[in-house]
Amino acid sequence: MFENPVTSSPHLRKSGSKSLFLDPGASGHLGGVSEMGDLKGSSSPLQITTMVPSPIFLWRFKVVLFLFWALCCCKIGWDSVMRMSIDLRDLFLYEAFLYYNPLLLVTMMVWLWGVNLWVFSQGSVNYAKVFDLDHNHLTHREMWKCSMWLTIIVPTSMTAYLYLYSHGEVSLAASQPVLLYIAFALVLIFPFDIFYLSSRYFLLRTLWRIAFPLQPITFPDFFLADILTSMVKVFSDLERSVCRMVHRQVATIAWFEADAVCGSHQIAIPLVLVFPYICRLLQCLRQYKDTKEKSSLLNALKYSTAVPVIFLSALKYHVMPESWTSFYRPLWLFSSVINSLYSFYWDVTRDWDLSGFTKIFKFSRPSNISYLLYGRQWVYFWVIGSNLVLRCAWTYKLSAHLRHNYITVFAVTAMEMFRRFQWVFFRVENEWNKITKSHPLAEISLEEEKLLGSTTTHDV
């Protein structure tokens, strides 16, 4: 009764093979061997590719979902704003913009930094060696993934704030920016090995070294500090937003009372604006102490020229109008011109190396972007011209008395971040050229490090 217990089963099947039916009365073992040989020969890898959506389909599906989400946010936000009375609408938008403007600008900077990393990965610049990163560093794909989540979360919270406040749910509306800020702070300092722990630790450690430049200055230290000088608008708005949250003045119609406590005239605003420049100045002094290079002192002088621009502008709220018009404003204009021109000169002659055509856009594989940018003279005219214009425009944001039009300030800040985005390409390439000149073998190991880095995965 135990004869052929398995072979008589009509359910014996392997993926990719035919059903096996054996007749117990069939002659000989050769048939069984033949069938088993067919069974072995027919066993192949699982043919399930037709059951999985193609990457193109998934990408298009995500794009459709994103556009649908964006349309919903725009529709809900517009309807919420239109529900407000005309006399309060502008103040209502100003407050909402104050809370979410810093995170929107941070999101933009993360997107642009992802583009920087993508260009570096396509070209001949080993940015991992420039920043002394290990093979577990974030690539442009991880940066774009983070920026995509920021792009979704921040506008969603802003839409919820507009909708809840316009429908009378003031307490729930007030909780939206507060919860968002708390969530971002917790994710940044979360001590467990998720959300790119090593990269978050590297960022926090570098920020600590910037705030307290008591050790020898490395390239990541002053590179990030330079980027922070372009984000002083973010820090000043963060300070005002947190101030309102601490004083429980979120989602309230008492805007004038809130502005009296956390407005543009408070002394904390110029202190926050000047802090990144002071940190950068101290870094230059520390670098001079270690290297005795006079260029470090000249660089420190460049950052010191931003201090009178910031504090002279803040004096408008503390002096008589006649004194401001006759004395302080001309002095502010003069210091603004000096700061803009000095910074522009230093960008072109020291931070960048424009003695020859840059190789930053020379990709290892043919690309339309490389063809459009590599070796083109218009790139240099554009970069130099736009850097000069945006350096001068950035003075607008350093001045507290010119920040009443929040849309204009946002546009100027966004343009400054774009200027810094351009600056990154040439600054990193200049540093890479210095490394390859002093260590010729560094360029040889670039392809090997790319291959090692390409096999690294990141856990979220």
| Residue 153 confidence (pLDDT) | 95
CA distance 232 to 229: 6
Average pLDDT, the chain: 79
Residue 43 pLDDT greater than 70, yes or no: no
- 3-state secondary structure string across 325-374: HHHHHHHHHHHHHHHHHHHHHHHHHHHCCCCCCCCCCCCCCCCHHHHHHC
- Mean pLDDT of the region 443-449: 51
Q: Residues in the chain, how many?
A: 460
Angle formed at CA 44 by CA 43 and CA 50, multiple of 5 degrees: 130
- Mean pLDDT of the region 381-395: 85
Residue 444 pLDDT greater than 60, yes or no: no
**Half-sphere exposure of 266 toward its Cβ, with a 13 Å CA cutoff?**
15
Q: Which long-range contacts (CB under 8 A, 24 or more apart) does 207-215 make?
A: 210/279, 210/283, 211/279, 213/279, 213/282, 213/283, 213/286, 214/286
Residue 95 pLDDT greater than 70, yes or no: yes
- Mean pLDDT of the region 35-54: 54
> b/e string for 76-89 if b means 16 or more Cβ within 10 A?
bbeebeeebeeeee
CB 281 within 8 A of CB 217: no
Residue 122 pLDDT greater than 50, yes or no: yes
Tell me which of 106 and 430 has the higher pLDDT.
106
CA distance 79 to 94: 17
Residues 345, 347, 351, 352, CA torsion sign? negative
Residue 42 pLDDT greater than 80, yes or no: no
- Mean pLDDT of the region 90-98: 83
| Residue 10 confidence (pLDDT) | 39
Residue 260 pLDDT greater than 80, yes or no: no
Residue 187 pLDDT greater than 90, yes or no: yes
Tell me which of 123 and 138 has the higher pLDDT.
138
pLDDT band at 34 (very low <50, low <70, confident <90, very high): very low
| Residue 402 confidence (pLDDT) | 57
| Residue 368 confidence (pLDDT) | 67
Tell me which of 230 and 23 has the higher pLDDT.
230
Residue 198 pLDDT greater than 70, yes or no: yes
152-183 tens-digit pLDDT? 999 999 999 999 988 888 889 889 999 999 99
CA distance 228 to 252: 31
| Structure token pair of residue 45 | 């890898």
| Residue 13 confidence (pLDDT) | 38
CB 112 within 8 A of CB 417: yes
In this structure, of 1-15, 70-84, 417-431, 434-448, the range with the lowest mean pLDDT score is: 1-15
Residue 31 pLDDT greater than 50, yes or no: no
pLDDT band at 126 (very low <50, low <70, confident <90, very high): confident
Tell me which of 42 and 208 has the higher pLDDT.
208
294-338 tens-digit pLDDT? 999 999 999 999 999 888 888 877 888 888 888 888 898 899 899
With a pLDDT cut of 70, the percent of the chain lying above it is: 76
Residue 271 pLDDT greater than 80, yes or no: yes
Residue 440 pLDDT greater than 80, yes or no: no
The amino acid that residue 287 corresponds to is Q
| Residue 264 confidence (pLDDT) | 66
| Residue 455 confidence (pLDDT) | 42
| Residue 70 confidence (pLDDT) | 94
Residue 371 pLDDT greater than 70, yes or no: no
Residue 47 pLDDT greater than 70, yes or no: no
- Mean pLDDT of the region 211-228: 92
The amino acid that residue 191 corresponds to is P
- Mean pLDDT of the region 51-79: 89
Task: Please tell me whether residue 382 adopts helix, strand or coil conformation.
Answer: helix
